[in-house]
């Protein structure tokens, strides 16, 4: 039912007010959510003012007027290949979930066996979770981490030998350590399996030289630019020359139809920016800041899953250390203006919506200009409040201190000035 004009005018006012409230909230909170990164103004005010959607693969559009589309998409694809040492890049997937779907579709038939990392140990929904398309259409089995929380490559090798998968999937949402692609490629090779890596999280660290490069060990790699790359949301598939046609066809017409040209332009801009020298320094600062958390949290030997982090993220076992579920720990920190997310941990005993831990990351604060001294204050405040979740005086003081600290992050585009 269409209503009168005033109804829609009121809805529009509500919409704008909600967005303004969210904007203010973003500036007045400290975002430690591991995938979070601020959107640079450069990617909002782009020169492509009249952009449309494009359909079809690069250089194979089913209509006229696509020359500009081809040029923009080919700069994005070429730059992605350069940065990650890949032969071929498809930058069309709307997100990493459809990128993963396309890779499975390219290499597998329904019902084929796939070996991936267990969800509680760090894997993602699209790596075979029973409620996700991946777990419903393919026969997944899982490897996990050892008692120390680290990937046990011998155990993976053995599991692969027994299960004989057609593909091994690596890469994770909440594994804070580097991944040995060479070791996994050896396990895959022994059983004739493809090796796919979902590197959504560490993509920027790879470009910055702080995480191992997936090629030549992997057959296909998926990633996004919106986490450690500081860019727009979207998916990229990288592959070797021999698989490029399979991958392209799996993306279109296999999974998707048209793509927004603005997003492809933003991706190209982000890829170009991350190839510049400042980005190496920036990723170094991400790691420096996570090391500050590591040092503060080392007061409790079992608080950090795996004992620490090599990357931009870490996982805290709050239930066994402080008797706080992940949900409660998340709410405690949210109450003082620090955002994190509840996180399932290895050996999880709670439902995923409650969880035993939280995950936190250093990308957002680093991009917003927090140095080691600022990060130290944040880390100490997180710890004090997890130790004392029912202390209103502490909470009120912490909230004021954190609000004061957000003044650093209100300078627009701290990082972007450097690109």
Ligand X SMILES: Cc1ncc(COP(=O)(O)O)c(C=O)c1O
Selected from 171, 208, 231, 326, the binder of ligand X by CB under 6 A is 171
Per rule CB under 6 A, is residue 357 in the interface with ligand X? Answer: no
Question: Residues 206 to 225: which contact ligand X by CB under 6 A?
Answer: 224
Per rule CB under 6 A, is residue 173 in the interface with ligand X? Answer: yes
The 13-32 contact track toward ligand X, x by CB under 6 A, reads --------------------
Stretch that binds ligand X, among 24-32, 160-168, 197-205, 279-287 (CB under 6 A): 197-205
Selected from 201, 263, 312, 327, the binder of ligand X by CB under 6 A is 201
Closest CA to 233 of 200, 257, 189: 200
Closest CA to 303 of 354, 357, 355, 351: 357
Selected from 57, 77, 96, 179, the binder of ligand X by CB under 6 A is 96
Question: Residues 245 to 264: which contact ligand X by CB under 6 A?
Answer: none
Q: What is the C-alpha to C-alpha distance for residues 164 and 218, in angstroms, rounded to an integer? A: 17
- Whether the CB-CB separation of 402 and 338 falls below 8 Å is answered with yes
Q: Tell me the number of residues near ligand X by CB under 6 A.
A: 14
Per rule CB under 6 A, is residue 200 in the interface with ligand X? Answer: yes
Per rule CB under 6 A, is residue 126 in the interface with ligand X? Answer: yes
Question: Residues 128 to 147: which contact ligand X by CB under 6 A?
Answer: none
Per rule CB under 6 A, is residue 177 in the interface with ligand X? Answer: no
The 317-346 contact track toward ligand X, x by CB under 6 A, reads ------------------------------
Closer residue to ligand X (CB): 66 or 169: 169
Stretch that binds ligand X, among 141-149, 193-201, 264-272, 303-311 (CB under 6 A): 193-201
Closer residue to ligand X (CB): 93 or 308: 93
The 30-69 contact track toward ligand X, x by CB under 6 A, reads -----x----------------------------------
What number of other Cβ atoms are within 10 A of residue 194's Cβ? 19
Per rule CB under 6 A, is residue 362 in the interface with ligand X? Answer: no
Closer residue to ligand X (CB): 128 or 337: 128
Paired with 221 in beta bridges are 197, 238
Place of tokens 């998926």: 222
Per rule CB under 6 A, is residue 228 in the interface with ligand X? Answer: no
Stretch that binds ligand X, among 22-30, 165-173, 187-195, 386-394 (CB under 6 A): 165-173
Q: What is the C-alpha to C-alpha distance for residues 161 and 181, in angstroms, rounded to an integer? A: 17
Question: Residues 97 to 116: which contact ligand X by CB under 6 A?
Answer: 97
Stretch that binds ligand X, among 37-45, 68-76, 170-178, 301-309 (CB under 6 A): 170-178
CB of 233 to ligand X, least distance (A): 6
Stretch that binds ligand X, among 41-49, 54-62, 196-204, 407-415 (CB under 6 A): 196-204
What does the binding site for ligand X look like in residue numbers (CB under 6 A)?
35, 95-97, 124, 126, 171-173, 198, 200-201, 224, 235
């Amino acid at each position: 039912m269409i209503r009168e004009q005033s109804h829609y005018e009121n809805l529009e006012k509500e919409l704008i007010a909600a967005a303004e409230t969210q904007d203010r909230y973003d500036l007045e909170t400290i975002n430690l959510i591991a995938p979070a990164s601020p959107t640079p103004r450069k990617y909002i005010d782009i020169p492509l003012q009249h952009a449309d959607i494009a359909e079809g693969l690069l250089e194979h559009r089913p209509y006229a007027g696509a020359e500009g589309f081809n040029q923009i998409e080919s700069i994005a694809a070429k730059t992605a290949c350069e940065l990650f040492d890949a032969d071929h890049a498809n930058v069309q997937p709307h997100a990493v979930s459809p990128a993963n779907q396309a890779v499975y579709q390219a290499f597998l038939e329904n019902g084929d066996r796939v070996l991936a990392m267990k969800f509680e140990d760090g894997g993602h929904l699209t790596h075979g979770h029973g409620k996700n398309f991946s777990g419903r259409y393919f026969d997944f089995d899982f490897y996990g981490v050892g008692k120390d929380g680290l990937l046990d490559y011998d155990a993976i090798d053995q599991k692969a030998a027994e299960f004989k998968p057609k593909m091994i999937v690596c890469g994770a949402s909440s594994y804070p350590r580097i991944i040995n692609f060479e070791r996994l490629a050896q396990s895959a090779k022994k059983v004739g399996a493809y090796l796919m890596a979902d590197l959504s999280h560490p993509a920027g660290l790879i470009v910055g030289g702080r995480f191992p490069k997936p090629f030549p060990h992997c057959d296909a790699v998926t990633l996004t630019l919106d986490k450690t790359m500081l860019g727009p949301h979207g998916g990229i598939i990288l592959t070797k020359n021999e698989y490029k046609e399979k991958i392209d066809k799996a993306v279109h017409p296999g999974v998707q139809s048209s793509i927004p040209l603005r997003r492809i332009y933003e991706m190209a801009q982000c890829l170009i920016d991350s190839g510049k020298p400042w980005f190496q320094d920036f990723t170094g600062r991400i790691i420096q800041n996570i090391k500050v958390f590591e040092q503060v949290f080392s007061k409790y030997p079992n608080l950090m899953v795996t004992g620490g982090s090599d990357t931009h993220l870490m996982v805290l076992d709050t239930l066994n250390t402080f008797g706080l579920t992940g949900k409660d720990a998340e709410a405690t920190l949210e109450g003082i203006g620090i955002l994190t997310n509840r996180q399932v941990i290895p050996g999880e005993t709670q439902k995923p919506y409650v969880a035993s831990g939280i995950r936190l990351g250093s990308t957002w604060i680093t991009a917003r200009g927090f140095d080691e001294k600022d990060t130290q204050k944040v880390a100490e405040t997180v710890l004090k409040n997890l130790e004392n979740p029912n202390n209103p005086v502490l909470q009120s003081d912490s909230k004021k201190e954190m609000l004061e600290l957000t003044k650093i992050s209100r300078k627009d585009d701290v990082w972007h000035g450097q690109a």
